[in-house]
Amino acid sequence: MTDFQKYIQRYLDLVPCGNWLEALKTSGEKTVAVYSKLSEEQSYFAYAEGKWTLKELLLHLSDTERIFQYRILAIARGDQNELPGFDEELYASRSFANERHPDSLLEEYQLLRKSSRILLETMNASALETVGSANGNQISAETIGKLIVGHNLHHLNIIEERYLPNL
């Protein structure tokens, strides 16, 4: 197993067996439920020095989903170009998430999730099975869709374990 396969496997292992498109919906709903209960003051909380605030974490989920959507679209449509990676720490440092109102961040997340659901639910099996190259690795459009779910669940677990108990 390559380092890339090991890296993504930790996210794929979090995707519930069965209908992963349903898990896309439910993980989004759970994220909205968690963030809807936070006060503005709580949204600035980071569990340790150098860790993201809850606002930054939510925008990280949106940034990642937006990038994954593009990868899904490009690969499913047969684009043979190498799709670039991204530096999540750089993106977070330049996100200005803490300057935004939590409702704005949550609205953006919800719109992106709805867009992901429409994109993925309307693709046929052959489009989802299409393989392309992203960040130097071969990957299918469907696997990237599952990564959206697993990545979101990974961060929900961190929120539940490290953020919420300390609020």
Q: Dump pLDDT digits (tens) for 24-35.
A: 999 999 999 999
Mean per-residue pLDDT, 127-150: 97
Mean per-residue pLDDT, 148-165: 98
Residue 26 one-letter amino acid: T
For the chain, state the CA radius of gyration. Answer: 16
Give the DSSP letter of residue 161: I
- Residue 103 confidence (pLDDT) above 80: yes
pLDDT band at 4 (very low <50, low <70, confident <90, very high): confident
- Residue 8 confidence (pLDDT) above 90: yes
Average pLDDT, the chain: 97
φ and ψ at 39, to 5 degrees? -80, 165
Mean per-residue pLDDT, 80-109: 97
The pLDDT of residue 154 is: 98
Instruction: Name the pTM for this structure.
Output: 0.96
The answer to whether 134 and 87 have CB atoms below 8 angstroms apart is no
CA proximity to 37, closest of 103, 92, 104: 103
- Residue 96 confidence (pLDDT) above 80: yes
The pLDDT of residue 1 is: 74
